[in-house]
């Protein structure tokens, strides 16, 4: 079930609920003026890439103390971005969006009202509700005339650059096809022309046939470390049936996803823990990125890419000049070794 309401400045807010929590949708009592975000999308003449200019984001909230978190429920007289005093999953328009109006839309997804949890701490039922919210927002945002591609993602950890520590993710509705997606589409088109087959179907079949880099294999999903992984620990999670986006998953695929995804996240947290140490003592920073086909694209396969910038306990991978300047990645961890380690830390 979802309840749609408005914040004081006119931004949309949506409560998603399974019925576990008696959700109310009280009015936002903050004295906010109308939302007025301005951004501009420019095209790089040399590369053809799109760059978004969003100067208003310089003033966004940055690392507030827990008692001032804008993503916690409104309680004890403190008003936040979420007027209700409790919730399960909430989505709302970002107050400091990179994209707004004709340039697209940015939304925040709050996974839990508990400030001190992470996605890995959620129940399977709550993780499924997040999946349902991602799916619903993908359908709604894809229907907007200015939107070409919907991107659901989570950044976790200060090392990644997270400005709010409350467990949350974001959704970007782009008015263009992102550069990484464009590269994938180009490769898929060439593969189709050369072989008559789909690139992603062949990729997944090869991983399952030779599972040296497979981390988890289930009836409806497969998780593996890619052959040419760019990040120290990087896992790609594919549905075994090729679909373009989250809206095309069937019920069996949706039902199996939460358990597998939660297991992957928990393994990531155990990667660098010392024997006997609580994995949450030094939680692994990560990015979890859903790759969905842009509107009208038929070759790209839905998949999730999960990776961390931590290469060893106490050590981060910083982008070197070859990587940040030339996009030529160098990985210090062999993909086969990363897959082996991720199998070793299974629950």
- In the chain, the N- to C-terminal Cα span, in Å, equals 32
Confidence of residue 276 (pLDDT cuts 50, 70, 90): low
pTM over 0.85: yes
C-beta of residue 154 within 8 angstroms of C-beta of residue 110:
no
Q: What's the fold here for domain 180-344?
A: HIT family, subunit A (3.30.428)
Q: Is 259 helix (H, G, I), strand (E, B) or coil?
A: helix
Q: Provide the residue ranges of all domains of the chain, joining segments of one domain with +.
A: 2-176, 180-344
Model pLDDT, residue 21: 59
Q: Is 63 helix (H, G, I), strand (E, B) or coil?
A: coil
Residues ≥6 apart with Cβ < 8 Å to 82: 13, 71, 72, 73, 74, 90, 92, 110, 113
State how far the Cα of 58 lies from the Cα of 158, in Å rounded to an integer. Answer: 18
The label of the residue with tokens 């050590």 reads 315
| Tokens linked to 177 | 């096809």
The catalytic residue positions are 168
Up-side HSE of residue 97: CA atoms within 13 Å toward CB?
28
DSSP secondary structure of 309-340:
SEEETTEE----HHHHHH-----SS-HHHHHH
φ and ψ of 78, to 5 deg: -95, 120
191 is in an annotated binding site: no
Q: Is 41 helix (H, G, I), strand (E, B) or coil?
A: strand
303 is in an annotated binding site: no
CA neighbor of 342 nearest in space, from 211, 188, 151: 211
What residues pair up with 316 in beta bridges, in sequence order? Answer: 310
110 is in an annotated binding site: no
Would the CATH topology of 2-176 be identical to that of 180-344?
A: yes
Average pLDDT over the chain, rounded to an integer? 94
At the top level of CATH, which class does the domain 2-176 belong to?
Answer: alpha beta
Q: Is 77 helix (H, G, I), strand (E, B) or coil?
A: coil
Residues ≥6 apart with Cβ < 8 Å to 19: 1
72 is in an annotated binding site: yes
Q: Which is higher by pLDDT, 312 or 59?
A: 312
Q: Is the pLDDT of residue 106 over 80?
A: yes
Residues 112-146: tens digit of each pLDDT: 999 999 999 999 999 999 999 999 999 999 999 99
């Amino acid at each position: 079930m979802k309840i749609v309401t408005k914040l004081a400045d006119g931004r949309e807010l949506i409560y998603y609920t399974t019925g576990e929590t008696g959700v109310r949708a009280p009015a936002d009592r903050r004295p906010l003026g109308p939302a007025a975000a301005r951004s501009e999308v420019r095209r790089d003449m040399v590369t053809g890439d799109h760059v978004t200019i969003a100067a208003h984001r310089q003033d966004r909230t940055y690392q507030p103390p827990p008692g001032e978190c804008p993503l916690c429920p409104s309680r004890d007289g403190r008003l936040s971005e979420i007027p209700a005093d409790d919730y399960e999953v909430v989505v709302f328009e970002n107050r400091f969006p990179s994209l707004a109006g004709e340039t697209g839309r940015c939304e925040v997804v709050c996974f839990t009202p508990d400030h001190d949890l992470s996605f890995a701490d959620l129940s399977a039922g709550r993780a499924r509700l997040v999946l349902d919210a991602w799916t619903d927002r993908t359908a709604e945002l894809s229907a907007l005339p200015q939107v070409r591609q919907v991107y659901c993602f989570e950044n976790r950890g200060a090392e990644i650059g997270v400005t709010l520590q409350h467990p949350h993710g974001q959704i970007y509705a782009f008015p263009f096809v992102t550069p990484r997606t464009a590269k994938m589409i180009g490769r898929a088109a060439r593969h189709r022309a050369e072989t008559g087959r789909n690139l992603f179907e062949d990729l997944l079949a090869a991983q399952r046939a030779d599972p040296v880099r497979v981390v988890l294999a289930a009836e409806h999903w497969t998780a593996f470390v890619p052959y040419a992984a760019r990040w120290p620990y990087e896992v790609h999670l594919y549905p075994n049936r090729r679909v373009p986006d989250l809206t095309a998953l069937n019920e069996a695929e949706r039902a199996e996803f939460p358990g597998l995804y939660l297991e992957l996240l928990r393994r990531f947290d155990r990667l660098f823990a010392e024997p006997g140490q609580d994995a949450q003592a030094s939680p692994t920073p990560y990015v979890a990125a859903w790759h969905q086909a842009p509107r009208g694209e038929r070759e790209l396969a839905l998949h999730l890419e999960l990776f961390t910038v931590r290469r060893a306990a106490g050590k981060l991978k910083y982008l070197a000049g070859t990587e940040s300047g030339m996009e030529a990645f160098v990985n210090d961890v062999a993909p086969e070794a990363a897959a082996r380690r991720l199998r070793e830390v299974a629950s």
